[in-house]
Structure 1
Amino acid sequence: MQTRRRAVWQAVLWGSYVAVSLAMVSSFQPLNGSLAFVMVCLGLLLWAASEGLRALALWQRWLDRSPRSLLFCVVVMPPVFAALVQLALLVINKTGLALGWLSFPPGTPRGWGVLAGYTANTSIMLWLWLTAWVGTQLLTRWRQGEIAKWQAEAAARALELQVLRAQINPHFLFNALNNLRALINEDPARAREMLSRLSNTLRHTLMHSAKERVPLADELAVVRDYVALEQLHHEERLRVDWQVDPAATAASVPPMLLQLLVENAIKHGIARTAGGGVVEVVIRRQGATLTVAVSNPGPWAPGTSDGTGLGLAHLRERLERAGGQGAGCRIDAEGGRVTVTVTLDVSA
C-alpha cells in the first residue's frame, strides 16, 4: 500500500515537472516529438534517481547518522545522481541522433555549458526532493518516538497502580475477613457494618485507583472505613485523631494518597509500638495549597530499608505527575513520633 502511494506521488511530481518544463521550452522555441520524448525520458530518469537516493539512504542508514554526516550526504549525493541522469540523457540523445530517430529544431542549445546548466537544474530538483523526503522521515520518527514515549508512560502508570493495589489490598484483607468471621457470632449488626466498610474500601481501591485525581471527601470516607477495619484487629491499640479543615474536603488529590499514608502509619508505627498509640491525621488548606500530615508513634532513621521505601517512592512519583507545581513529600522524626507531610497544588 505504501509502495503504491509513493509511486502515485512520484508520478504526479515528476509528471508535473515534465509538463512545466515543456511549457517553458515552448515559450522560446517550437516543440516537436523529439523534444517531448527527451523531456519524458528526463522525468523517468529523475524518478529513478529519486528512488535511488531513497534506497541508498535506507541502505546506508543516513537517518541514524550524526546531523553533520546526514547534511553531508544530503548536499553531496544529489549532484552525483544528477550527473548520472544527464549522462544517461546524453547517451539517449546521441544514440537517437545517430540512428535518425531524433531530430531537434534549429537553434536547440547544445554544448558542455548547456550540459552543466542542465546538471545544476537537475541537482536542485533532487536536492529539493531529498530534503523533503529526509524531513518527512525525521518528522515521522519523532512522532513515533512521542507515541512510544506516551505508551511507555501509560504502561508505567498502569503497572504502578497495579503495584499499589497489590501492596495495599492484601495487607489487611485477610485480617479483616478473620475478624469479621469472629464478629458474626458476637455482634451480627456490627459485623454487617464492618462488611459494608470492607466492600467500600475494596470498591474504592479497584475503581478510583485508575484516576489521576479524586475528591478528598471520597478519600476520607474510604480511609475512615479502612481505619474502622484495622481497629477490629488492633482494638484499643489503635486510636485516630482526625483534624480535617472543612474547606479542604472539596479539593482533589491523587487516589489512595491518604490511605497509603495512614496504612504506613499503622503498619510501621502502631503495629511495632508496644501498647499502640494515636495516629494523627491533619489536613489543612491554605489558598491553592493542600497539606496532609500523618504522624504515628515509633522511630525512623533515614536510609533504613524497613519496607516503607517502595510505597513512599511511588507516592513521590505520583505527586510529581499529578500533584501540581510545588508538590512534595517530607518525613520528620521528633519526640518519638514520625510525621509524613505531603503538600500539593489543588488550584485546578
Structure 2
Amino acid sequence: MGIAKQKIYWFCQLFGWTLLIMVEYLAYLAELGFDADTLYLAIVNIFLGITLTHLYRLMIRRWYWVRLPFIQLAPRVLFSVFVLALIMTLVNLPIDRVIVPQYLVNEPWLFIGYILTWGKTMLAWVLSYTVYHYVERTRNAEIEKILLKTSIRETEAKVLRSQLNPHFVFNALNSIRALVYENPTKAQQSITQLSNLLRNSLLADRRKTVELREEMKTVEDYLALEKVRYEERLTSRIELDGRTLFWQVPPMMLQTLVENAIKHGVSTAIGGGFIEVKSMIVADKLHIIIRNTGVLGDKEASGGFGLANTAQRLELLYGPEAAFQIFQEESTPDQSAETGGSVVCATITIPAQSEGLFRRTSEAMSNAS
C-alpha cells in the first residue's frame, strides 16, 4: 500500500472511530453531564476499535480472503464481526455496570444487546473494508490482464518482424557469384546491399518502428539486388513526399510487401513488370501505396503470410486507426498499355504518433532547403 493510501487509511480510522464514539459520548454528556470515567471509556473504545479493525485488516490481507469465492468469504466475515463485537462487549459491559448501573438493571438479554449493538458497528466497518479490497483486487487483476495481454502482443509483434525470405538470399548470392567475374564492381556493391539487408533484418526485432527514409533504403537495396536477377524485366519507381520521410513505420514491412509483389506479380508476368512505391500525407495520416504488375488471386496463395503479417503488425502497433488493403486495380485501356497489363495495389495508412513528428519533419525540410 502506497504512502498516500496509508495516510487515507489512518485518517479514516481515526476520524471514523472518533466521530462514532464521541457522538455517543456527547449524547451521554447532554443527558447526564460530564463524567471523567465515561470520557476515559470513550477514549479506550476509540483506540480499541482502531486496534481491532486494524488487526482484521492485517488478517484479511495475510490470508487473502478477498480472493475467496463469496460462499467461503461470507461466513468468515460474519464470524469476524461476531468476534470483534464480542471483544468490545467484554470490555464495555463490565465497565458500564460500574459507571451506569441504573441503565442496565431492567435490560433483558443485556449481553446479546451489546453484541448486536457493537455487531452493527463492526459489520459496517468490516463490510466497507472488505468490499474496498475486493474491488481493488478486481481492478488490479484487470490491470494485470491488460499488462499480460500487452506483453503477449509485444512478443507477437517481435515474432512478426523481419521475415527475410531465405530463397531470396540464396538467389541473391547466386546472382552475385555470376557478377564476380563479369562485373566485380557491381558484385561488391551487391554484397554491400545484401549485407545491409541482413543487418536490418537482424535489427528488426529490436526496434518497433523506424523512419520511413531508413525503411526505403532497405527497399532500394532489395530492388537493386532483384534488378541484378531480373535485369530489364523489372522496373521500379519510387516517389516519396518529403513530409513523410521521418514518419515511423514497422521495420522490414515495406520490404516484405515489395518482395511479395515481385514473387507473385512481376516474376510470373511473361514480359516482366514494374513496382511503384509512393508516399503522401492525407488528413494528418501517412499513406503508402505500392503498385505492381500482377493479378490478385487467392490471398493465401499469393503471399498470405506476408499480407497477414502486415495487417497484424499495423494493428498491434497503431490500433484501429491504421489500415492495410490490397486489391486488383481497375485500369483503362490506356493505363493497361502503360503498365503492361493488370495491376495490384496495396495501401497502408498509419496515423501520426505525436505532434512532435510534424515539427521535426518541418524542421528537417527547412534545413534541407
TM-score bracket relative to the smaller structure: 0.7 to 0.9
1:31 aligns with 2:27: no
Partner of 1:168: 164
Aligned partner of 2:172: which letter?
A
Per the alignment, in what secondary structure is the counterpart of residue 168 of structure 1? coil
Q: Which residue, out of 332, 345, 356, partners 1:340?
A: 345
Aligned partner of 1:148: which letter?
L
Partner of 1:61: 69
1:310 aligns with 2:305: yes
The more displaced of 224-233 and 317-326 is 317-326
Per the alignment, in what secondary structure is the counterpart of residue 343 of structure 1? strand
Say whether the 8 Å CA contact 1:289–1:343 is kept in structure 2: no
1:105 aligns with 2:99: yes
CA deviations 1:21-79 (Å, max 9, x no partner) are 787787744338998888777666545655666658357434xx9xxx99xx5xx9755
The more displaced of 81-90 and 120-129 is 81-90
TM-superposed CA distance for 1:210, in Å, is 4.0
1:250 aligns with 2:258: no
Aligned length: 323
CA deviations 1:106-133 (Å, max 9, x no partner) are 4586444554332222222212221232
The more displaced of 123-132 and 77-86 is 77-86
CA deviations 1:259-286 (Å, max 9, x no partner) are 12210111112333334x1223141425
1:268 aligns with 2:264: yes
Partner of 2:131: 131
Partner of 2:236: 241
Change (3 A) 1:45 1:323: closer
Say whether the 8 Å CA contact 1:251–1:346 is kept in structure 2: no
Aligned partner of 1:134: which letter?
Y
Measured in 1, the distance between the counterparts of 2:191 and 2:167 equals 17
Partner of 1:149: 149
Aligned partner of 1:343: which letter?
I
Aligned partner of 2:312: which letter?
E
Q: Which residue, out of 237, 256, 259, partners 2:255?
A: 259
The more displaced of 79-88 and 137-146 is 79-88
Per the alignment, in what secondary structure is the counterpart of residue 276 of structure 2? strand
Measured in 2, the distance between the counterparts of 1:314 and 1:149 equals 19
Q: Which residue, out of 193, 198, 204, partners 1:197?
A: 193
Measured in 1, the distance between the counterparts of 2:303 and 2:102 equals 87
Give unmatched runs, 5+ long, in structure 2. 2-7, 30-34, 331-335, 354-369
Structure-to-structure mapping, 1:274-285, within 5 angstroms? 274-275=270-271, 277-285=272-280
Root-mean-square deviation (CA), in Å? Answer: 4.2
TM-superposed CA distance for 1:190, in Å, is 1.3
Question: How high is the TM-score relative to the length of structure 1?
Answer: 0.72
Change (3 A) 1:264 1:83: same
Aligned partner of 2:117: which letter?
G
Aligned partner of 1:57: which letter?
W
TM-superposed CA distance for 1:220, in Å, is 2.3
TM-superposed CA distance for 1:229, in Å, is 0.9
1:188 aligns with 2:184: yes
Measured in 2, the distance between the counterparts of 1:116 and 1:203 equals 76
Measured in 1, the distance between the counterparts of 2:16 and 2:159 equals 54
Question: How high is the TM-score relative to the length of structure 2?
Answer: 0.69
Change (3 A) 1:153 1:104: farther
Measured in 2, the distance between the counterparts of 1:134 and 1:236 equals 70
Change (3 A) 1:106 1:211: same
Per the alignment, in what secondary structure is the counterpart of residue 327 of structure 2? strand
Say whether the 8 Å CA contact 1:324–1:344 is kept in structure 2: no
Identity %: 23
Change (3 A) 1:44 1:332: same
Per the alignment, in what secondary structure is the counterpart of residue 104 of structure 1? helix
Change (3 A) 1:245 1:324: farther
Change (3 A) 1:82 1:293: closer
Say whether the 8 Å CA contact 2:14–2:50 is kept in structure 1: yes
Measured in 2, the distance between the counterparts of 1:34 and 1:249 equals 77
Aligned partner of 2:125: which letter?
M
Per the alignment, in what secondary structure is the counterpart of residue 305 of structure 1? coil
